[in-house]
Chains A and B, each alone.
Chain A
Amino acid sequence: MYKFILRRLIIILPALFLVSIVVFFTSEALPGDPSMQELMNRPDATIEEIMKIQERYNLDKPPLERYTLWLKGTLKGDLGKSYTFRTDVANLIKEKMFNTFFLGMTSLVIMFSIGIPLGVFSAKYEGSLFDRTVLGYNFFTLSVPSFVLGILMLYYFGYTLGWFPTSGSINPSVYDSGTQIQKLGSRIYHVILPAFTAGILSTTTIIQYLRNEIIKNKGKDYVKTARAKGQTENIIYNTHILRNSFLPISSVLGFYITGIFAGSVITETIFSYPGIGKFFLDAINLRDTPIVTGLVLFMSILTLMGSLISDILIVSVDPRVRID
């Protein structure tokens, strides 16, 4: 097991290195110049002033040297300074991270609390009206693009009915002078719409996996044995079948971590939710190269980690999977 993880890590290191090169040079190609932003209101700026600013961001050096400087900084946790906010990129990302993480976790809870019961009961009562309704629901969630669901949710629940806030992650007045409980309440109130948008659409995978797995296990010999022993149906389901059917879901979890951040770009933009997805688009529109580079690297590392985690989970929950 440890050998397997170690081997995967060794494969990931060169991949990470390649990714860093691709990330750096594609983001570098973004049109954008810090001197333009800093001297925006000063048409009389001299060449020397422009050169000075370029020097501060190492833009006067050749590309290869800039890359090594950036890589050295990154390894120390320093992602450079933002062109527009003029503070550390790493700190800016950290601030937004919490919101995205909170959104991701809430949608994860929603995904499991809807997906697991629907999957389990549709498989238990295979072919019933309930099962067919769940299959219809699944077909619908599979077809709806996330931004379409997001827009409709925002329009009906946000604007038309006015049940939920239409932007932000917390009420500003609560943020300034509210108790911890009020703050948490406000955060949950703001996260519900985006989290439901992301969560409902992810239930498809859970339901499909769980339903297929349970139906497959229902016909297995060990279930017949349990039934022959005179075990009650409830015990057969809850301890024998379910335990075996939950295994494959864990492999989905790794990919879900990646999905949280990739999908956050669209969800957070629709609901104007200040997380790293919306931050990424803002940085792109501001042509703030250091932020873009930092965020893309961060998301690439998460994608790598996601695939590593799901590989490890598949092997560790199911010893039958060959390690090589």
Chain B
Amino acid sequence: MNADLARLRMLAGVAIWALHFAAIYGFTAVACARRLPGPVPLAVALATLVAAAACALIVIAELRKPQGFESWMTGGLAALALLAIVWEAVPVVVVTPCQ
């Protein structure tokens, strides 16, 4: 099972997406509940930078490998996760937090 578990890294991209999503949603919710909207845009931007960079690294790493099915899944999921991460963070540029 351990060898099988190691191959769960196929899901690394979407796992990063999930963490990023939980982080920005959770941070915004708590900040608004405490009436401290100030740090929200910066926090979202930082989280997005880190998460997007991590996904991009996965995509690049997989592109360099020979094209097996697993490598395809790993890279593809990370690419889609990257897109979702960026899209989800864009509103912070336009929308005022906590209103």
Q: Is this pair of chains taken from one and the same complex?
A: no
